[in-house]
Amino acid sequence: MLGVTPRNALESVASPRFLLSWWPWRSVGYLLSSLPVLAVLAMPLAWLTLPWLVAGGLLVTRPTSAIVGILVLVLLGAVLVGAGAPLVAIPLAVAERWRLGLVDTRPLWEDHRLPPGPGLWNWLRTRYAETATWREVGYVFLFVVWQGLYLTLCGLGLVIVFLVASPAILMTGDGPVAMGPWTITQPEQAWWLPLVGLLLAPVLLYLVGIAVGAHAAAARALLGGNRARTELVEVARSRARLVDAFEAERRRIERDLHDGAQERLVSLTLRLGLAKLDLPEDSPARQNVADAHDQAKQVMAELRELVRGLNPRVLADRGLGAALSELGDRSAIPAQVRTDLPEWLPPHVESTAYFVAAEALTNVAKHSGATAVTVSAWTGAGLLVIEVGDNGRGGADPARGSGLTGLADRAATLDGRMLLSSPVGGPTLLRVELPCGDNRSE
């Protein structure tokens, strides 16, 4: 280990400079900080295991007459531990990841998944279904068992303190001092006890370093996540934050256009209309003003369409179902819209689904040669599903154009996916699945 800086307590124990470094004291600090954590943990664990404790007492006092009651208590204890242990383990894991920095300088990645939507039910459903939570539950039992070793080491530390302080104890008249079969009554007889204590102190520090290092290694294995997976999770979270920021910026631009530029264009159109009325009909100036008036109205109509495309008002006011119905009404091809959607969906999911449907309808009108199109939307199994089907010529291929690729990219921003069936001769069915949480049961 010469020339290599230890990264954790186990590596430091193998270093010849262990006793001259900060690692022994960091290890002692980690050990001592475990005791208040255990004290806080004792109360919820006592409540969770109370049926088992009562069952054990009955088994000792009345082993045969209370067998049914014992079985009921054992089952009740199993249910309580299964339901309550994750709620104890998750906050303990947060504290333990923070404490692990005392004896391990390497970063530790959390392995929890993001819930599919807001609300306590989504959070609980995600936590109870993932492996990371149950690894943390396993760590709770490891932590409790490991405290027995820590208490033994603390007892050995008290013995060393007693050995070093034994001459002072005898000089103050608080003796005699009993050391196994020996009883020492005079301070001069105890001169060798501090030497024994000082010789045992380095041994204790090494034992603490080994015990704490093994505990930290187990904690890292149970509480840490796979680095690559965790980095992917962080990328997904960053992507979700970017999507939210993009949606907020789009709403701001829509509001500025609606309240600023559009109002000014309306005012300009009215002024040009009034100016046209004040000019003689055969005046060249009237014709120029009339042309400007028509162009201003055209620009206003185009701006209105732009604003509607940025953030459709019906989507914000009445939800995705009504917005899809409006898309169907405005479609260049007769469209049938069927929706079975909850009252609330995450805004960024609604927005993505709307623009996926709008772009899909535009592609159908441009390229399919279809005479009818259907749009369906529903939720289930934590997904929002959008299907757009047409009776056109088929043969759609994402490799031949950017439209379908853009749809797939839109879905991917929310960790969704796009599926396409478009044989030559038709029909074509486009399906987009977006994670959203199944909100119908909430």
Say if residue 354 is in the same domain as residue 372. yes
How much of the chain, in percent, has pLDDT values that exceed 90? 10
Q: Is residue 204 part of a domain?
A: yes
How far apart are alpha carbons 7 and 1 in whole angstroms? 11
Confidence of residue 439 (pLDDT cuts 50, 70, 90): very low
- Position 2 scores a pLDDT of 46
Say if residue 328 is in the same domain as residue 384. yes
Say if residue 200 is in the same domain as residue 265. no
Lowest mean pLDDT among 123-127, 180-184, 210-214, 356-360: 180-184
**Which of 190, 225, 260 is the last residue in one of the domains?**
225
Lowest mean pLDDT among 23-27, 221-225, 246-250, 289-293: 246-250
Say if residue 397 is in the same domain as residue 419. yes
Say if residue 195 is in the same domain as residue 55. yes
Q: Is residue 205 part of a domain?
A: yes
Mean pLDDT over residues 129-145, rounded? 89
Q: Which among 212, 98, 104 is positioned nearest to 154, based on CA atoms?
A: 212
Q: Which among 278, 263, 262, 271 is positioned nearest to 292, based on CA atoms?
A: 271
**Which of 310, 328, 346 is the last residue in one of the domains?**
310
Report which of residues 34 and 269 the model is more confident about. Answer: 34
Instruction: Indicate left, alpha or beta for 260 from its phi (over 0: left) and psi (-120 to 50: alpha).
Output: alpha
**429 pLDDT more than 80:** yes
DSSP-derived letter for residue 371 is S
Mean of the per-residue pLDDT values for the chain? 77
**215 pLDDT more than 90:** yes
Place of tokens 């006092």: 61
Lowest mean pLDDT among 66-75, 234-243, 383-392, 423-432: 234-243
Q: Is residue 368 part of a domain?
A: yes
User: Which domain, by its residues, includes 142?
Assistant: 9-225
DSSP result, 326-353: HHHHH-SS-EEEEEE--S---HHHHHHH
Say if residue 201 is in the same domain as residue 306. no
Report which of residues 95 and 262 the model is more confident about. Answer: 95
How much of the chain, in percent, has pLDDT values that exceed 70? 74
Say if residue 331 is in the same domain as residue 286. no
**240 pLDDT more than 60:** no
pLDDT digits (tens, 9 = 90+) for 150-164: 999 999 998 888 788
Q: Is residue 237 part of a domain?
A: no
Q: Is residue 234 part of a domain?
A: no
- Position 332 scores a pLDDT of 84
3-state secondary structure of 4: coil
Per the CB < 8 A criterion, the answer to whether 348 and 416 are in contact is: no
Confidence of residue 183 (pLDDT cuts 50, 70, 90): low
Domain count along the chain: 3
Say if residue 205 is in the same domain as residue 165. yes
How far apart are alpha carbons 279 and 36 in whole angstroms? 89
Cα→Cα distances 152→31, 148, 160, 302, Å: 11, 6, 13, 79
Say if residue 254 is in the same domain as residue 219. no
Say if residue 87 is in the same domain as residue 164. yes
Q: Which CATH number is 408's domain given?
A: 3.30.565.10
**Which of 254, 285, 310 is the last residue in one of the domains?**
310
DSSP-derived letter for residue 382 is T
**52 pLDDT more than 50:** yes
Say if residue 118 is in the same domain as residue 181. yes
Query: Which strands make up the sheet holding 373-380, listed edge to edge?
Result: 335-340, 373-380, 383-390, 428-435, 417-421
Report which of residues 342 and 207 the model is more confident about. Answer: 207
Alpha helices in 49-66 (DSSP H): 50-61
Per the CB < 8 A criterion, the answer to whether 411 and 377 are in contact is: no
Q: Is residue 238 part of a domain?
A: no
**118 pLDDT more than 50:** yes
Confidence of residue 438 (pLDDT cuts 50, 70, 90): very low
How far apart are alpha carbons 74 and 80 in whole angstroms? 10
- Position 29 scores a pLDDT of 92
**434 pLDDT more than 70:** yes
Instruction: Indicate left, alpha or beta for 3 from its phi (over 0: left) and psi (-120 to 50: alpha).
Output: left
Mean pLDDT over residues 198-224, rounded? 90
Cα→Cα distances 359→323, 352, 367, 368, 431, Å: 14, 11, 12, 13, 13
pLDDT digits (tens, 9 = 90+) for 291-327: 777 777 777 666 665 555 556 667 767 888 888 888 8
Q: Is residue 94 part of a domain?
A: yes
Q: Is residue 380 part of a domain?
A: yes
| Type and span of the H or E element at 67 | helix 67-99
CA 10 to chain centre: 31
Mean pLDDT over residues 27-50, rounded? 86
Q: Which among 368, 316, 378, 317 is positioned nearest to 347, based on CA atoms?
A: 316
pLDDT digits (tens, 9 = 90+) for 249-293: 566 666 656 556 666 767 777 777 777 776 777 777 777 777 777
Say if residue 183 is in the same domain as residue 41. yes
How far apart are alpha carbons 203 and 226 in whole angstroms? 35
**234 pLDDT more than 80:** no
- Position 117 scores a pLDDT of 67
